[in-house]
Amino acid sequence: MTRRLARRLRAAFGSRLARRQVRLVLVVALAAGWLLSAMQIVIDYRNDRRAQQETLDQLVATTLSTAATAAWQLDGHLARVMCEGMTAHPAIHGCRLRLPGEILLGDTRVDRPATWLPFGSGLFGGERRLELPLHHQGQSPIGTLVLEISPASAINGFATRMLATLLTGTLRALVLALVLFAVFHALTIRPISRLSRLLDEADDRDFAADRCPPPRYRHDDEILTLERAARSLMQRLASRVEELRSAKQALEETNRHQEQRILERTLELEQTMQAMRQQAYSDSLTGLDNRRAFFEAAPRYLEHWHRYGERFALILVDVDDFKAINDRLGHDLGDRVLRALAELLKRSRRQGDLIARFGGEEFIGLIKVATRQEALEAAERLRGEVTELVVKGLPWTLTVSIGVTLVTSDDTAIDGLVTRADRALYCAKRSGRDRVSDDDRRRELSPEK
């Protein structure tokens, strides 16, 4: 039962037209309900105020003679009983019988209730004080009856009734909105929503006659005419759709064969281009970029240096005694040494660094650094890691010599840095190999002994 109700609610409020209709009905119903409630509140207030004033006037009129008698006879007991009777009225919280000379013959006060309606202090005349002169048999005033009036009880009662009226009016408005929406939904929203879904899903539907049932809307008006016209149009399109479907299938089959052939040729072309690019820009022995790839990528580092100040250093790494390895131990071991060194360079490469095989036993790299000292330390760290490499078949410790140079503001081409790094590498070789040197010979670093 709950699921059925949930499905009906989703169907009822699922369309934008239904949601807009709900908002409109709610606004109109609530406005009408609150307007009627406001009119009822105004009428109730006028009736309550008139009834309270009449009751108070009648009470005062019947009490004046008793008060005059008590004042004439100086009867304090009668005065107190009379004042207590007056304060029993919910609007009177103070009663005094005052004789000439400010003599009080009777004085009774009661606590007045608090008004919980913030803006209602001025209702029912507000708090006031009545001083009524007392006469006995037409003589001059023999005293004064002082009444302190507070409409707090009447205000609280009126506020309670006002809230009840507002709540009742709101509930009535909601019920009215529900009834109006149910009527509008049955007469307008549901058939229009059903027709809208039918037309919206037309691309995915079979337009055959058996899939287009007769209209379910039974009122002879424009909605029924529109629904009949839409379904008739869909049925007339059925044969056209079938022809188009057959033509589409034939065209798709032809395209499928053509696409398969194009895909095969494209794949062959991409594989060929990839292989050519691999051969053109990659070193086949080590898998690193080759000299050509290095010189095509290096200018970007110079551009970033001049535009953004991203400093970098160029390092040139040469394997010591590599000719002896090839001559004495064979070219296979030499190739193994180069591959091992290339793997170490790949592991040591940081994001943004450029490493390539420069030719023979030389490797070149561009590393992002901030200072010359940082570049030298990176090169020295690489030199130390090379000495820890274990190459199967190599009977001695593998060492490298490294030349380092830092980019300067005068560098406009990468060739100048390569020349300086090559000069520093030559200095490291001449100084005994297995060391790091930069283009300033005074900054040469030797390995720790």
pLDDT at position 3 over 80: no
Which of 128-142, 168-182, 289-303 has maximum average pLDDT?
289-303
> Which residues contact residue 34 at a Cβ distance below 8 angstroms, ignoring those fewer than 6 apart?
166, 169, 170, 173
**How much is the pLDDT for 249?**
85
Distance CA 437, CA 441 (A): 7
Contact in structure between 300 and 355 (CB atoms under 8 Å)? no
Q: Where are the beta strands (DSSP E) in 100-203?
A: 103-109, 128-134, 143-149
More confident residue, 67 or 315: 315
Distance CA 137, CA 88 (A): 28
217 in a structural domain: no
**How much is the pLDDT for 209?**
47
Distance CA 420, CA 87 (A): 113
**How much is the pLDDT for 447?**
39
- CA-CA-CA-CA torsion sign (438, 441, 442, 446): positive
More confident residue, 24 or 408: 408
Contact in structure between 111 and 122 (CB atoms under 8 Å)? no
73 in a structural domain: yes
Q: Same structural domain for residues 31 and 156?
A: yes
Cβ of 74: how many Cβ atoms within 10 Å? 13
The residue out of 117, 140, 174 marking a domain boundary is 174
3-class DSSP state of 104:
strand
Strand-strand pairing, 312-319 and 143-149: unpaired
12 in a structural domain: yes
**Mean pLDDT of all residues in 416-435:** 93
185 in a structural domain: no
Q: What is the rounded (10 degree) CA torsion for 283, 286, 291, 296? A: 80
Contact in structure between 364 and 356 (CB atoms under 8 Å)? yes
pLDDT at position 211 over 60: no
Which of 83-87, 95-99, 136-140, 381-385 has maximum average pLDDT?
381-385
Q: Same structural domain for residues 17 and 149?
A: yes
pLDDT at position 323 over 80: yes
The residue out of 150, 174, 198 marking a domain boundary is 174
**Mean pLDDT of all residues in 405-434:** 93
**How much is the pLDDT for 441?**
45
**Mean pLDDT of all residues in 181-192:** 70
113 in a structural domain: yes
pLDDT at position 335 over 50: yes
Q: Output the furthest CA–CA distance in the chain (Å, rounded).
A: 153
pLDDT at position 180 over 50: yes
Which is nearest to 90 in space by CA: 52, 45, 131?
52
144 in a structural domain: yes
Distance CA 108, CA 88 (A): 10
Q: What are phi and psi of 315, to 5 degrees?
A: -120, 140
Going by the DSSP 8-state scheme, the letter that residue 316 receives in this structure is: E
**How much is the pLDDT for 182?**
74
Q: What's the angle, vertex CA 52, arms to CA 146 and CA 38, rounded to 5?
A: 135
3-class DSSP state of 353:
coil
**How much is the pLDDT for 149?**
86
pLDDT, tens digit, for every residue of 109-160? 888 777 766 666 677 777 788 888 888 776 778 888 888 888 878 777 778 8
Strand-strand pairing, 312-319 and 400-406: antiparallel
* Candidate from 252-261, 380-389, 433-442 with smallest mean pLDDT: 433-442
3-class DSSP state of 71:
helix
* Number of residues that make up the chain: 449
3-class DSSP state of 37:
helix
**Mean pLDDT of all residues in 319-337:** 91
More confident residue, 447 or 345: 345
> How would you class 361 by CB atoms within 10 Å of its CB: exposed for 0-12, middle for 13-18, buried for 19 or more?
buried
This model's pTM is above 0.75: no
> Which residues contact residue 408 at a Cβ distance below 8 angstroms, ignoring those fewer than 6 apart?
none
Mean pLDDT over the full length of the chain:
81
Measured CA to CA in angstroms, residue 104 lies from 3, 144, 146, 234 at distances of: 77, 10, 10, 99
**Residue 248 binned pLDDT confidence (cut-offs 50, 70, 90):** confident
**Residue 445 binned pLDDT confidence (cut-offs 50, 70, 90):** very low
Q: Which domain holds residue 331?
A: 291-441
295 in a structural domain: yes
263 in a structural domain: no
Structure tokens at 401: 């010599």
**146-170 burial code (b ≥16 CB/10 A, e <16):** bbbbbbbbbbbebbeebeebbeebe
Cβ of 427: how many Cβ atoms within 10 Å? 18
CATH number where 342 lies:
3.30.70.270
Which is nearest to 189 in space by CA: 372, 55, 23?
23
**How much is the pLDDT for 9?**
53
Measured CA to CA in angstroms, residue 198 lies from 149, 190, 204, 215 at distances of: 72, 12, 10, 11
**How much is the pLDDT for 112?**
74
**How much is the pLDDT for 34?**
86
The residue out of 174, 201, 235 marking a domain boundary is 174
Contact in structure between 334 and 286 (CB atoms under 8 Å)? no
Complete edge-to-edge strand list for the sheet that includes strand 143-149: 103-109, 92-99, 143-149, 128-134
Contact in structure between 300 and 385 (CB atoms under 8 Å)? no
pLDDT, tens digit, for every residue of 53-68? 888 888 888 888 888 8
- Counted domains in the chain: 2
